[in-house]
């Protein structure tokens, strides 16, 4: 049992004890926030709810939500709940649109977050004997710092590689015998392709597991990475606002990710009405952080769509599980009135044996939405005859029509022509936004 869990006393806690712990922490946290965060106190006052009204987990639904818009409005210090002198760190989102989210951490917050990442590493088979190769970006992004801290807690030899410089990644991986790789799935794919190009076979590296997250990836992509690198690939989920990676992690059963419920309460709500939905329903994931001191968000709307399920897991953990995010309320594309998720396109590509190197371009021409999918041919698929390429494009188009309900224009392009990502991949270019 020793190496199966990082903190078995919490990870395998009976459900009723988890609920009791969550209730106790929720009451304390709401009081902490009400007393120290005027921004949230105002929201509670507007809703006519006081800390004394929160006595059970069901009372959670009385509390107001927080959204990304609130975080922007309160930027930078408006949601801080402790004096700045108690904070030891900030981390931040990549912030492609609008203001970045800046999250603050006390030393206890960093400790809790690193424990969560350590749980993920141990669940992927990590022990002190491992060489943990961290190729998530270091810096403001939470990926590098989180897995780095978790790796230290487990006692692995930690390689703080950060992302980029793939030659050096490969050299250290081979020379130092990396056993666990942590990076985005798209970068794992890229590292795998690079090893293949160098003629290094999957059984020639020492890797046994990978801990991949921070962006959507499909089961098909998991199989692809597993065979390229000769490893078992584990999913990890998290977001800066709630701490970073490790909010949820996969165990060996690999049927959903366990949410660290001793630290976070997860709800699924109807994104349109805000009503909480029963377990098993698909909806928007909402988190309440129970232990965060500096940046304690209550009922934060993640915009990630998923399903929660509670049941016996063969790994022995009792924490509720979330599915992979099935999309985001804000990455759903509406094309000619039809809802399209990039993950659906990716699933078709990999099912048909294509690499997950693709880019989706949406535009509006003569008042009609257009959908173009650029897909890289792998060297095996590459063909010189135009007829052959056209036939392959047609077949992809019809598979996508079945999946999406609309017909995209598929363009097969030469290997290595779509820019590779060392962090989160850019899958969608929506040119309609540029015209607005």
For ligand DLL, the closer of residues 253 and 372 by Cβ is: 253
DSSP three-state, residue 302: strand
We find the least distance from the C-beta atom of residue 246 to ligand DLL, in angstroms, to be 8
**Exposed/middle/buried for residue 302 (C-beta within 10 Å: 0-12, 13-18, 19+):** buried
CB 412 within 8 A of CB 400: no
The CB density around residue 418, as the number of other CB atoms within 10 Å, is 18
For ligand DLL, the closer of residues 244 and 408 by Cβ is: 244
Q: Does 72 bind ligand DLL (CB under 6 A)?
A: no
We find the least distance from the C-beta atom of residue 315 to ligand DLL, in angstroms, to be 18
Q: Does 346 bind ligand DLL (CB under 6 A)?
A: no
How far from the centroid of its chain's Cα atoms is residue 325's Cα? 8
For ligand DLL, the closer of residues 44 and 307 by Cβ is: 307
Q: Does 250 bind ligand DLL (CB under 6 A)?
A: no
Q: How far apart are CA 60 and CA 68, in angstroms?
A: 19
Q: Looking at 260-417, list the stretches that DSSP marks H as alpha helix, in order from N- to C-terminal side.
A: 342-351, 386-404
Q: Does 253 bind ligand DLL (CB under 6 A)?
A: no
Site string (26-55) toward ligand DLL, x via CB under 6 A: ------------------------------
Q: How far apart are CA 422 and CA 186, in angstroms?
A: 7
Q: Does 239 bind ligand DLL (CB under 6 A)?
A: yes
DSSP 131: E
For ligand DLL, the closer of residues 193 and 284 by Cβ is: 284
Among 158, 324, 341, 427, binds ligand DLL (CB under 6 A): 324
DSSP three-state, residue 168: helix
Q: Does 143 bind ligand DLL (CB under 6 A)?
A: yes
Look at the block and give the residue holding tokens 């224009």: 409
Q: Does 142 bind ligand DLL (CB under 6 A)?
A: yes
Size of the site for ligand DLL (CB under 6 A): 22
The CB density around residue 380, as the number of other CB atoms within 10 Å, is 9
For ligand DLL, the closer of residues 181 and 214 by Cβ is: 214
HEC assignment per residue over 325-348: CCCECCCCEEECCEEECHHHHHHH
Interface stretch with ligand DLL, choices 64-72, 135-143, 190-198, 355-363 (CB under 6 A): 135-143
**Does the CA dihedral 66-69-71-77 come out positive or negative?**
negative
Q: Does 318 bind ligand DLL (CB under 6 A)?
A: no
DSSP 202: G
Among 137, 149, 325, 356, binds ligand DLL (CB under 6 A): 325
CB 37 within 8 A of CB 293: no
For ligand DLL, the closer of residues 235 and 422 by Cβ is: 235
DSSP three-state, residue 423: coil
Relative to beta strand 87-92, strand 102-106 is antiparallel
Q: Does 282 bind ligand DLL (CB under 6 A)?
A: no
For ligand DLL, the closer of residues 117 and 348 by Cβ is: 117
Among 8, 78, 127, 215, binds ligand DLL (CB under 6 A): 215
Q: Does 238 bind ligand DLL (CB under 6 A)?
A: yes
For ligand DLL, the closer of residues 126 and 213 by Cβ is: 213
Q: State the residues that interact with ligand DLL by CB under 6 A.
A: 93-94, 136, 142-143, 213-216, 235-240, 244-245, 302, 304, 324-325, 328
């Amino acid at each position: 049992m020793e190496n199966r869990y990082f903190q078995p006393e919490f990870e395998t806690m009976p459900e009723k004890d988890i609920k009791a712990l969550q209730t106790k922490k929720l009451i304390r946290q709401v009081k902490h926030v009400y007393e120290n965060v005027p921004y949230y106190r105002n929201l509670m006052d507007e809703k006519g709810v006081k800390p004394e009204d929160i006595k059970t987990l069901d009372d959670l639904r009385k509390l107001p939500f927080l959204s990304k818009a609130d975080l922007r409005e309160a930027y930078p210090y408006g949601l801080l709940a402790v004096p700045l002198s108690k904070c030891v760190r900030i981390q931040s989102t990549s912030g492609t649109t609008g203001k970045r989210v800046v999250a603050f951490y006390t030393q206890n917050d960093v400790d809790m977050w690193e424990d969560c990442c350590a749980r993920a590493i141990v669940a992927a088979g990590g022990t002190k004997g491992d060489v943990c190769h961290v190729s998530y970006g270091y810096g403001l992004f939470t990926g590098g710092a989180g897995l780095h801290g978790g790796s230290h807690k487990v006692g692995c030899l930690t390689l703080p590689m950060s992302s980029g410089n793939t030659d050096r990644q490969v050299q250290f991986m081979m020379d130092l015998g990396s056993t666990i790789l942590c990076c985005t799935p798209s970068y794992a794919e890229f590292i795998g392709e690079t090893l293949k190009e160098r003629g290094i076979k999957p059984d020639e590296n020492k890797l046994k597991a990978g801990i991949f997250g921070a962006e959507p990836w499909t089961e098909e992509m998991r199989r692809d990475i597993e065979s390229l690198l000769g490893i078992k690939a584990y999913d990890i989920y998290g977001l800066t606002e709630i701490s970073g990676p490790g909010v949820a992690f996969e165990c060996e059963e690999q049927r959903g990710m366990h949410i660290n419920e001793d630290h976070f309460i997860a709800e699924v709500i109807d994104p349109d009405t805000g009503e909480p939905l029963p377990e098993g329903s698909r909806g928007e994931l909402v988190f309440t952080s129970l232990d965060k001191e500096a940046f304690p968000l209550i009922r934060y709307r993640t915009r990630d769509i998923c399903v929660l399920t509670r049941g016996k897991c063969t790994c022995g953990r009792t924490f509720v599980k979330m599915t992979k995010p099935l999309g985001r309320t804000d990455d759903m594309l509406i094309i000619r009135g039809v809802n399209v998720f990039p993950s659906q396109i990716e699933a078709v590509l990999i099912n048909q044996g294509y690499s997950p190197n693709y880019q989706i371009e949406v535009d509006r021409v003569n008042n009609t939405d257009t959908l173009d999918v650029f897909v890289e041919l792998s060297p095996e698929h590459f063909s010189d005859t135009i007829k052959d390429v056209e036939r392959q494009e047609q077949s992809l188009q019809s598979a996508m029509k079945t999946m999406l309900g609309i017909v995209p224009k598929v363009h097969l392009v030469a290997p290595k022509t779509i820019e590779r990502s060392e962090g989160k991949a850019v899958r969608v270019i929506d040119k309609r936004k540029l015209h607005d």
